[in-house]
Every structure is written in structure tokens, then in C-alpha cells.
Amino acid sequence: MAYQSFEDLEAWKRARALKKEVSDLVKHFPEEEKYRLADQLKRSTRSIGTQISEGHGRQTYPDRIRFCIIARGSLSETLNHLIDSFDEGFITEDQLQMFRNKITEVEKVLNGYITWLQKKSKEQ
């Protein structure tokens, strides 16, 4: 198999797109939330791609899987922050649902990557 950069991974690409959309969203949050909820949202979405890329750089499949599972946790954290944003009235129910759908898409791709890594790990 030819070398593949983490930038080639579909899970990382989807995580990057989600990160960009959340970053655009929080620009419209109240100023007092800049270092609170907006910052937490930015950090959790950044963590998703960061964990995928860090895992990709690891030598063993179990290490790669571990980092992808952490990325999946950051996806859940992001959804929780978005629910908080809805509860605070910073986003609409439609926006929440749209992001919920995007998070589900990223999670499905990430789960597929984890499954592939688990299979490869067993082949060793």
C-alpha cells in the first residue's frame, strides 16, 4: 500500500469541514461567550482532526485506534456544546439539527476507519 497522508483520510477531511463550519458559527455568538462556549466549541472540533492526524502518525494499529476513539469522544463533546448553544438561544433548532446530522456523518466515517484499523490490527 502506498503512503497515505492523514490529509488523505476521509475522516480527517470531514472533521476539517465540520471544524470550519463551527468556527464560522461561533463568530456570531455574543462577545461574552468568546472565551467560554465559543472557545470550547472551537477546541472540541479542533481536537477531532488533531486526534485523527496524531493517531495516523503512530506506528501501531492499536495506537491509531486509541486516538480515533478519542476523536469520537471529541465529536460527542462538540454535540454537547452545540446543545448548550441551543439551550442558551445562540443557535436555532434547525442549526442544531444540521450540525447533529454533520456530526453523525463524521462519526460514521470515523467508525468505518476504526473498523478498518481493527481489521488490519488482527491481520498482523
pLDDT in tens, the chain (124 residues): 556 899 999 999 999 999 999 999 999 999 999 999 999 999 999 999 999 999 999 999 999 999 999 999 999 999 999 999 999 999 999 999 999 999 999 999 999 999 999 999 998 7
- The pLDDT of residue 4 is 87
- The pLDDT of residue 73 is 98
Q: Which grid cell sits at 47?
A: 481536537
Fold that domain 8-123 belongs to in CATH: de novo design (two linked rop proteins) (1.20.1440)
For the chain, domain boundaries: 8-123
